Amino acid sequence: DPQSEAQRALDGPLFSGLPGDIEVSFEFFPPKTDKMGETLWRSVETLAPLAPRFASVTYGAGGSTRARTHDQVVRIQNEAGIPAAAHLTCVEATREEVDEVARHYWEAGIRHIVALRGDPPDGASRYTPHPGGYANAAELIAGLKNVADFEISVAAYPECHPDSPDAQADLDNLKRKFDAGATRAITQFFFEPDCFFAFRDRAAGAGISGEIVPGVMPVMSFAAVQRMAGLCGTAIPPWMEGLFEGLDERPEARQLVSATIAAELCRRLYAGGVRQFHFYTLNRAELSYAICHLLGLRPKEHG
Ligand code: FAD
């Protein structure tokens, strides 16, 4: 039963064998060069046998990757056979322009959008909506639902979005996104399981019953994660800095440490009842693959 499964996940020796009764999804970003494109595609092909429920492709600031995001999303769905989701933001675009992008996705057979407000373009510190555009993600969702009946995922912030006056306002905003038609929220990355559990409890308390999937960021470069965490308000636990100390020039050791940290986070989330995981792959398959494997997931037979 789930109770004893949870206990076993925590009490047993590290990865005494989880049953693999989880669902995963993978996030990629659109490649800038042919070489990066090859890396991405190798990663997609490595992860595809894990039968993810979807793979998503991010959207560059201000729509700068519009065509590349579109191409990758369609290719992932058509060639790798993974249901694909396109990230889409409201930045620097009119409603008509955004609707047009969405319509193209629908025509290409893409049925799932990760709907985001987006960040201000480089240099600007505050977000200012485009005068003819959607003001925030909730408005974008309503617009998308008018275009077609997309499945919609949105962003959620266990440690509160930096623009939000307080955690309650941020939660109210998340509720508006579900009310507008989102079926799932994917969280910003975080490193302490309790951070996610507290957020899940507060969301339930606010009347949010939709799915909240933890976004897991395996650390590729600790310096890069520190930078990203600073921008998005994710706390870096003091123990983490200690664990990566001295590993800057030791990529292989660093990868093993990263996999251990992320797998331990996932194991604790699993013990707390989480069965869905979203991985920020940064277009590299190995860490995400290893963590899924430790969680008991095995490749499905093809054909
Ligand atoms: P919103 O939900 O609109 O909210 C943003 C902030 O404004 C929140 O603090 C909210 O509380 C506040 N707010 C919104 N509406 C109101 C209102 N009416 N009144 C008061 N306050 C309000 N960025 C990209 O550019 N491309 C991507 O592909 C991308 N993918 C992402 C994927 C995930 C899983 C996550 C977690 C983030 C992603 N981002 C991406 C980053 C995201 O665009 C930024 O975090 C952005 O600053 C907020 O987007 P949002 O959709 O959460 O905005």
In the predicted structure, residue 234 carries a pLDDT above the cut 50: yes
Which segments within the chain are labelled E, that is strand? 23-28, 54-57, 84-89, 112-116, 151-156, 184-187, 211-213, 215-216, 276-280
Task: Give me ligand 1 centre to Cα 79, in Å.
Answer: 30
> How far is the C-alpha of 188 from the C-alpha of 140, rounded, in Å?
19
Residues 167-190, mean pLDDT to the nearest whole number: 98
Chain segment 116-160, per-residue pLDDT in tens: 999 987 767 788 999 999 999 999 999 999 999 999 999 999 999
- Kindly report which listed range (10-14, 135-139, 195-199, 230-234) carries the lowest average pLDDT score: 10-14
User: Cα torsion at 45, 112, 62, 283 (round to 10°)?
Assistant: -20
Q: Is 243 exposed, middle or buried (0-12, 13-18, 19+ CB in 10 A)?
A: middle
**Predicted pLDDT of residue 256:** 95
**Predicted pLDDT of residue 126:** 86
Higher pLDDT, 302 or 7: 7
Task: Give me ligand 1 centre to Cα 298, in Å.
Answer: 34
Contact, 276 vs 213, CB < 8 A? yes
Q: Which residues of 145-163 are buried (b: 16+ CB within 10 A; e: fewer)?
A: bebeebbbbbbbbbbbbeb
Which ligand 1 atom sits closest to the C-alpha of 173?
A: 11
**Predicted pLDDT of residue 11:** 72
In order of 130, 158, 249, the CA distances from 280 in angstroms are 28, 16, 23
**Predicted pLDDT of residue 301:** 75
User: Which residue, 119, 197, 127, 209, is CA-closest to 158?
Assistant: 197
Reading phi first (left if > 0) and then psi (alpha if -120 to 50, else beta), residue 112 is in beta
> Which of 88, 134, 173, 217 best tests ligand 1's pocket when mutated (most atoms within 8 Å of CB)?
173
Is 151 a catalytic site residue?
no
**Predicted pLDDT of residue 218:** 95
Length of the chain: 303
Chain segment 20-73, per-residue pLDDT in tens: 899 999 999 999 999 999 999 999 999 999 999 999 999 997 778 999 999 999
Report the pocket of ligand 1 as residue ranges, CB < 6 Å: 58-59, 61, 87, 89, 114, 116-119, 136-137, 155, 161, 163-164, 169-170, 173, 177, 186, 188, 215
Using only the alpha carbons of the chain, give its radius of gyration: 19
- Active-site residue among 23, 27, 45, 286? 27
Angle between helices 251-271 and 2-11 (to 10 degrees): 150
> How far is the C-alpha of 223 from the C-alpha of 74, rounded, in Å?
33
Put simply, whether the predicted model's pTM sits higher than 0.90 gets the answer yes
> How far is the C-alpha of 20 from the C-alpha of 241, rounded, in Å?
30
- The order of strands in the sheet holding 215-216 is 211-213, 184-187, 151-156, 112-116, 84-89, 54-57, 23-28, 276-280, 215-216
Residues 159-175, mean pLDDT to the nearest whole number: 96
In the predicted structure, residue 182 carries a pLDDT above the cut 90: yes
DSSP code, position 302: P
DSSP code, position 16: S
DSSP codes, 27-93: EE---SSHHHHHHHHHHHHHHGGG--SEEEE---GGGTTHHHHHHHHHHHHHHS---EEEEEE-TT-
In the predicted structure, residue 303 carries a pLDDT above the cut 60: no
